[in-house]
Amino acid sequence: MATGSVKLLGVWASPFVNRVEIALKMKSVEPEFILETTLNKSELLLKSNPVYKKIPVLLHDEKPICESLVILQYIDDSWPNGPSILPSDPYDRAIARFWASYIDEKWYPLVVEFMKAKGKEEKAVVLEKISEGNLLLEEAFIKINKGKSFFGGDRIGYLDIVLGSLLGWVKAIEMMDEMKILDETKMPSLAEWDKRFCSDNVVKDIIPQPEKLAEIHRKFHQMKKATSN
């Protein structure tokens, strides 16, 4: 089992930081949380992640590991005695990595696009694209979980963390825009998974409440508007 100091650079409202927190909690590892700010990046962050200059960064024995998906795999490899995060079967691991890439590169960017879209008509166009992605994720969940509770089987695993970490912001955006992104009638299996994931003991104290995220979003945009005037 890995030893040495463990530090996590991040902010509590970042879903990508939340992923790392969940993975570390699964492995019973308590990191030193070093709070970053979105507007003034620390020298430690810039030195630790000179390529992307963003959170999260995991410092294990002062050695930096960057990008949330990479960090999840690193945690799984470094603390093998805890519950497995990635599937043990090579094919299942490949499929999990494929869908994780889809979520981060295709699905969630549409959610961000929805948040930035102006007017109900423009948002409706983006929402239609998200709905198509939701159906793909519903089908993937049914195929991957093999009749069990989570993508990872009987317990939370890699894909659960990747998708589940985004739920707080998705629900916050639904609340702010008064439009439904996750339609339970079209994705009933994922809707039930959502409830199980968010109530799991590993997760429920880490994923921020949508109300808090909506408030953070409002304050951030008020601050940006004030500084631009």
pLDDT in tens, 168-192: 999 999 999 988 999 999 999 999 9
Backbone angles phi, psi at 192, to 5 degrees: -70, -40
Q: Residue 56 falls within a domain, yes or no?
A: yes
Per the structure, the count of domains in the chain is 2
Q: What is the average per-residue pLDDT within 127-141?
A: 97
- Last residue of one domain, picked from the residues 78, 112, 135: 78
Work out whether strand 63-66 and strand 32-35 pair parallel, antiparallel, or are unpaired. Answer: unpaired
pLDDT of 226 reads: 65
Backbone Cα Rg of the chain: 18
Q: How far is CA 191 from the centre of its chain?
A: 17
pLDDT of 228 reads: 64
pLDDT of 227 reads: 65
Q: Is the pLDDT of residue 1 over 90?
A: no
Residue 62's domain comprises 6-78
Q: What is the average per-residue pLDDT within 113-124?
A: 93
Give the length of the chain: 229
pLDDT > 90 fraction of the chain, expressed in percent and rounded:
87
Quick one: 104 and 132 in the same domain?
yes
Q: Residue 188 falls within a domain, yes or no?
A: yes
Quick one: 109 and 135 in the same domain?
yes
Label residues 34-71 b or e (16+ Cβ within 10 Å = b).
Answer: bebeeeeeeeebeebbeeeebbbbbbbeeebbbbbbeb
Question: How sure is the predictor about 229, in pLDDT bands with cuts at 50, 70 and 90?
Answer: low
Q: Residue 228 falls within a domain, yes or no?
A: no
Per residue in 50-69, pLDDT (tens digit) is 999 999 999 999 999 999 99
Quick one: 145 and 201 in the same domain?
yes
Amino acid at 186: K
Quick one: 111 and 131 in the same domain?
yes
pLDDT of 90 reads: 97
Quick one: 63 and 147 in the same domain?
no
